[in-house]
Amino acid sequence: MIDFSHFDNLISLTSYFNSDRICKQAIVEARWADGDVVCPYCGGHHCVPRKDGKFRCKHCGRNFSCLVGTIFENTKLPLIKWFVAMYLISSHKKGVSSHQLSRDLHITQSSAWYMLQKIRLLYSQDDATSFEGTVECDEVYIGGKEKWKHKSMRTPHTQGRSTKTKTPVFGMMERGEFVNAKGEVENITYVRAFVVENTNKATLQPIIQQFVDNGSRIITDELNAYNGLSELGYCHEVVNHGAAEYADGDVFTNSIEGFWSHFRRMITGCYHDVSDEHLQQYIDEAVYRWNTRKASETERFSDMFTKSIGLVRKWSEIRVGLMAA
């Protein structure tokens, strides 16, 4: 497989991937590293290459391109434009808008928007890893477009924490450490966040149980929904926002509040307005940026490339899994 650490700038990336053939070659090498091409339709092995660049499965007899099952499947755009899009998105801290991307890649804005939607699928949060140690939990309400609506269109009694016009989002953040290149121990935090139906105990606590290991220390605000976490086997500590001006030792939720500001900045700085339908995807993007912020651009690009050629899970499937838990 290609060593992506060479591509630490756009020029080196575009000089290497200068044709669809080279891009496809990289995809084939990465997908089937041992040279054993597997049929995406039936799972059959020993597929043979055809003259037109596709493969033929000896088992089911179907022809397929190396793009089947990747985010590039059925695309009419040159693959290099996808690679550049992934590179730009992974290297810009606040993301890239579809307007900007359409200008940078010289494509229509609707193509750019479609591309961004596909690329965002790569940010889906996996549900295999759980948090441990000290974990901050917090909830926010995103949205509130009421003020832009005409008076007659506004929903009555919707000030503050109302789910009538705002969407509740729940987040968990693990405080951890890692050893940097210089051999020093640095603090790092990892976050997970989801759109939730509401911020009731019955909604939030099963999510905590799914994603935070038993015995961990959980720090929350005073919301009633967190009552009873101690009985579930957690060491639960509550931040008293009302009583103290300063955080009490390390009992604070400032780290996850930092993530919420990062998220809000991303929304206002780049995407302006986010419909509920797409909110989870923007959250996933912000989570990905946060969790990989100590990684280099080439590491992030390499990670995105790897995900782009695998089968991608939709966020909605993850969310359905959550609600069923």
Q: Between residues 42 and 247, which has the closer beta carbon with respect to Zn ion? A: 42
Strand partners, 173: 136, 191
In Å, the largest CA–CA distance within the chain is: 74
Cβ pair 256, 136 in contact under 8 A? yes
Q: Cβ closer to Zn ion: 28 or 89?
A: 28
Piece in contact with Zn ion (CB under 5 A), picked from 15-23, 52-60, 226-234, 240-248 = 52-60
Query: How many CA atoms, within 13 angstroms, populate the side-chain half-sphere of residue 21?
Result: 3
Q: Which is nearer to Zn ion, 61 or 233 (CB)?
A: 61
User: Which one of 23, 28, 30, 57 is in contact with Zn ion (CB under 5 A)?
Assistant: 57
- Which residue(s) pair with 190 in the sheet? 174
Question: In 3D, which of 208, 205, 138, 196 has the Cα closest to residue 168?
Answer: 196
Report the alpha-carbon distance of residue 20 to residue 28 in Å, rounded.
12
Q: Which two tokens stand for residue 268?
A: 């206002």
Give min distance, CB of 81 to Zn ion, in A: 30
Q: What is the smallest separation between the CB atom of 107 and Zn ion, expressed in angstroms?
A: 33
Minimum Å distance from CB 37 to Zn ion?
A: 10
Size of residue set near Zn ion by CB under 5 A: 7
Contact between residue 252 and residue 175 where contact means Cβ atoms under 8 Å apart: no
CA distance 321 to 325: 6
Minimum CB–partner distance for residue 48 and Zn ion (Å): 11
Smallest gap from Cβ 125 to Zn ion, in A, equals: 32
Place of tokens 């690329």: 119
Sign of CA dihedral 104, 110, 115, 117: positive
Strands (DSSP E) contained in 55-182 are: 55-56, 63-64, 134-143, 166-179
What is the C-alpha separation between 273 and 174, in angstroms, rounded? 29
179's tokens: 């050893």
Judged by CB under 5 A, the stretch of 11-19, 51-59, 80-88, 212-220 that binds Zn ion is 51-59
Regarding 59 and contact with Zn ion (CB under 5 A), the answer is yes
Instruction: Give the DSSP letter of residue 191.
Output: E
Contact map string, positions 282 to 321, toward Zn ion, x by CB under 5 A: ----------------------------------------
| Residues 60-99, mask of contacts with Zn ion (x by CB under 5 A) | x---------------------------------------
The residues facing 171 across adjacent strands are 138, 193
Write down the least CB distance from residue 66 to Zn ion, Å: 14
Please list every residue from 20 through 49 that binds Zn ion, using CB under 5 A: 39, 41-42, 44
Closest to Zn ion by CB, 43 or 228: 43
Q: Which is nearer to Zn ion, 47 or 229 (CB)?
A: 47
Q: Which is nearer to Zn ion, 39 or 286 (CB)?
A: 39
In the complex, minimum distance from the CB of residue 38 to Zn ion, in angstroms, rounded to a whole number: 9
Taking the least distance from each CB to Zn ion, the nearer of 59 and 264 is 59
Q: CB-wise, 66 or 212, nearer to Zn ion? A: 66
| Least separation in angstroms between CB 166 and Zn ion | 48
Rounded Cα gap, residues 146 and 150, in angstroms: 8
User: Interface with Zn ion by CB under 5 A: which residues?
Assistant: 39, 41-42, 44, 57, 59-60
